[in-house]
Each structure stands twice: as structure tokens, then as C-alpha cells.
Amino acid sequence: MTRARRRIAIVGGTAAGPAAAAEASRTDPDADITMFEAGPDISWGVCELPMLLSGEIERADELIVFEPDQFKDRYGVQVETGTRVESIEAETLTLDVRSEDGQVSTRRFDAVVLATGTRAVIPDGLRTDAPNVTLLRSIGDARRIREQLRDHSVHHAVVVGGGYLGIEAAEALHIQGVRVTLLQRGDRLMGRVLGDELAHVLSDRLTRAGVNIRFETATGLDVRSDGRVQAVRTAAGEKIGCQAVILGAGVAPNSELARDAGLALGVADAVSVNERLATSAHGIWACGDCITQADPVTKRSIWVPLALPAYRSGHVAGRNAARRGRGKPATMKSVVPVYGLRVFDTEVAVVGSDREGLRAAGYEPVDVYASQVNRASLLEHDRIHMSLTADRSTGRLLGGRFVGGAGAALRANALSMAVRLGATADDLYDLDTVYTPRIAPMHDVLTVAGRQMQKALGRGGGRE
């Protein structure tokens, strides 16, 4: 007796979705797998999008890892692009699907994997259909902005929001020869993430690289009679004239479909999953940027829209959705949040959960600041600024942030390992770092920060 082919739906085709589909296919080569993607493209490099805008990557198709047909040929997965899953009936694993031609069909599955990613959060006053106001979330977005640049009518662009994406967009436009103003509400760039000292270093370096940063809140858009925006209005009552606007505003989990299906949501309204990435509904798994993850330090649920955990979770969800109870279930145990960025010659990396999460888990976070050259000071060098966070009573390392020249971001890997393994400030001070003049100084910013932390906590290594 042969069992019927298992029907698996993958909802979302950007990154975690394809990972899930591919792994489901490897797990059960006989499964009947369909991947639904609302947009035109699947399996493409989201993180490289700013480099398509800057021109470092020339052609949009370079970003695409698999065309739908290639993906089908390679993994035996049906791919339906331009197709939106409008609702899920969790009880019966039935999906209402609107295809490219507007037809809605009802499709039944044995397992569903949600990989719906994020959605942009656009402040009210900035919603518009103006053709020169663009998000930077899809290949089409980057293409549209580059088309606007082609006729040289864009002399000045405003990027609203100074998060990772806003900063990368500002750099890309600058590389394209456009004068850029980056609008950030509050008084610091990535200040909540980086803290005062490093936020100042970052904005200072971006300013020197040629980006005009203004700490103001964008509240509205001035639209011309032809429908194009000609200025961004700020809370201070100013109008900043421009020929193009990029909304680098924040993102949130794209969890509406899950919520409407009655699935439990967790922190930040991300889809709540267990270690096996099962949602609260039987037969529905979730992965990627729309789910909650576990922080190994705080043991709390966190939302971390990051490529590596997204890929890994896709792998786990795809496996579990396809395994029919055979073999050991795959698990996604924990994620140490590690964000990285390089703009101009400045690298940024952030390791670990935020203060609120640390405090809620019972830690008493103590911060120290360190600054050190990135290679031997006798050679041409830059500086790396670092803040390090540890628990006051135990000295356990909880996280850290780096802003500076070449090598700043890669140093985050050692801290990521330390945080994951429960290392202390003493371990960091004792770390044997690689030293060779062209790559690192003898006293690396990592060990310097470790020493600063020992002092702050009144601890002394053996060498003190």
C-alpha cells in the first residue's frame, strides 16, 4: 500500500520559503510541493538590494538565485508567482489563493509552511502613490529608483529613516551621484541599538562621507499637481525639497495571514512557534522573518529579522513539514542576534538582545566603551569603537556593538561565540586574538573591551 503524495504549501518565496521548499523536497522526494509568492520573483538576495541600487551589482537578474522554472527543475517544486494566499483555514489546511489573473481558488494541503517575511511600516503622512516615492524592498523598487536616476532629474533625494536599510539606501544614492539627506527622528542614528557613543561615531562618519543627516521627523509629503512629491515636510515645519524620496522606514513581521487564520502571535506580533517551528495550528509550520525565535541568553522569545536564522529556520520548517513523523524532527534552538552593515568605509555590527530583554530576564546590564586601532598603528589604520555589555553580578557577556574601520564587523563573530557559550568578561580579556600588523593590533579592541569590563565590574583577571 502506498500512501498518497503529501501536499505541502509554502507561503512566501523570497528566502526562507525556498529554503523550506528545497528541504521539504529533499526530505520527501515524492511530496507534492507548491510555493506561492505574491511578487514576481522568488529566491533572490534581499541583502544585496542596496548594491543593485548603487550599481555595484549591475543587473537585477544577478540577484536572482533561481528563476521559478529552475527552482522547479531542481527541486520538483511547483512555483506560483504573482499569487497571493488570501486566507488560511487552519482546521482543514485549506488556502484561498488569488492567482496572477485575479482568479481565486481554494486549495487543500496536508502541511503548510508560512514564510511571509516582513511588511514595511509606513508612517501615516508618508503613504502615497507618487511615482517618485519608493520603498526599497523588492527588485522592482530598486529598478524603479534607478530608472528615476537615469534621466539625471534627481539632484537631491531624501531618505526617511536611518535604520540599516535607510543608511544603505543613502549610501547607494550617494554612490550614484545624488545629493542625499537622511532624515532620522530623535537625535541619534541607530541610537537605540548602538547607544550614544557609537551612534555619534556612526553619524559622524556618514556625514564625513557626504551624507547629510538631519535629526527631524518626517510628517508629510508635498505633492505637485502632476502627482510627484517635491518636498518632505518635517515636524519642525520645514519643507525639504527633493526630486525623490526613499522610505527606509521600519519593518514588522508580516503575520496578518497567520493572525487571521487564528494562529498565536508572539513578541512584536511575529508568528509564535516552538522549537520545531510548529505554529499553534496543527499542520502549519512557520519560518523566516515572520516568526519568533529563542534568545539563548535571556531564554526569551525575540523577533530577529535576519538572513541566517531565516534560512536556517526554513530548513527546519521544511524538514518537519515533510517528514510525516519519520526520523528525528529538526529543531531550531536559539539565535544570538547578530546584525552587520558596511557603508562607505564604516562597518557596524551588533550582537545580543536589547536592554529591555536583558533586564526582563533578570540581568543587570553594564556597558563599557572601548576604542582601538583596527591594525598596527604604524601602518595605515582606522579605529574600531566598541561597546560591550555584561551582567553586573556574574560578569557574563550579554552583547556588544562595533562601529569602525575594516575588520570591525568580523570581530563580532568572536563575541557572538562568547555570548552563545556563556563566557564572561574574563574570558574576553584572556582571549588569544589573532595578531599580525596588517590585520589587527596586538591589543585588539575585543580584549581592550574585556579589560574595561573587568574594571567596571571590579573583577580582575589573573594578570591584574
List interacting residues with its own copies (CB under 8 A).
45, 47-48, 51, 56-57, 62-63, 275, 306-309, 311-312, 315-316, 319, 328, 330-342, 347, 349, 376, 378-379, 407, 409-414, 416-418, 420-421, 423, 427, 430-440, 442-444, 446, 460, 462-464
The CA distance from 213 to 210, in Å, is 9
The CA distance from 209 to 80, in Å, is 43
Pick the closer one to its own copies by CB: 101 or 380: 380
Per-residue cell: 229: 512629491
- Tell the smallest beta-carbon distance from residue 240 to its own copies (Å): 29
Pick the closer one to its own copies by CB: 141 or 444: 444
Segments of 39-132 assigned E as strands: 77-81, 84-89, 94-98, 104-108, 111-114, 118-120
Pick the closer one to its own copies by CB: 311 or 369: 311
Pick the closer one to its own copies by CB: 238 or 464: 464
- Tell the smallest beta-carbon distance from residue 329 to its own copies (Å): 9
- What secondary structure letter does DSSP report for 4? P
Beta-strand relationship, 218-223 and 229-234: antiparallel
Contact 249, 120 (CB under 8 A): yes
- Tell the smallest beta-carbon distance from residue 342 to its own copies (Å): 4
Contact 43, 117 (CB under 8 A): no
Pick the closer one to its own copies by CB: 90 or 398: 398
The CA distance from 298 to 54, in Å, is 38
- Tell the smallest beta-carbon distance from residue 109 to its own copies (Å): 23
- Tell the smallest beta-carbon distance from residue 431 to its own copies (Å): 6
- Tell the smallest beta-carbon distance from residue 131 to its own copies (Å): 28
| Burial annotation 423-439 (CB, 10 A radius, 16+ → b, else e) | bbbbbbbebebeeeeee
Q: Can you spell out the DSSP letters for 179-239?
A: EEEEE-SSSSSSHHHHHHHHHHHHHHHHHHHT-EEE---EEEEEE-TTS-EEEEEETTS-E
- Tell the smallest beta-carbon distance from residue 444 to its own copies (Å): 8
- Tell the smallest beta-carbon distance from residue 227 to its own copies (Å): 35
Pick the closer one to its own copies by CB: 4 or 378: 378
The angle that helices 16-27 and 307-322 make with each other, rounded to 10 degrees, is: 30
The CA distance from 9 to 113, in Å, is 6
Pick the closer one to its own copies by CB: 241 or 460: 460
The CA distance from 392 to 203, in Å, is 30
Pick the closer one to its own copies by CB: 42 or 245: 42
CB count within 10 Å of CB 377 equals 12
CB count within 10 Å of CB 245 equals 25
Pick the closer one to its own copies by CB: 6 or 315: 315
Contact 321, 8 (CB under 8 A): yes
Pick the closer one to its own copies by CB: 138 or 433: 433
User: Phi, psi (5° rounding) for residue 102?
Assistant: 90, -5
- Tell the smallest beta-carbon distance from residue 418 to its own copies (Å): 5
CA distances from 346 to 183, 250, 417 (A): 19, 22, 23
- Tell the smallest beta-carbon distance from residue 268 to its own copies (Å): 19
- Tell the smallest beta-carbon distance from residue 176 to its own copies (Å): 17
Pick the closer one to its own copies by CB: 48 or 256: 48
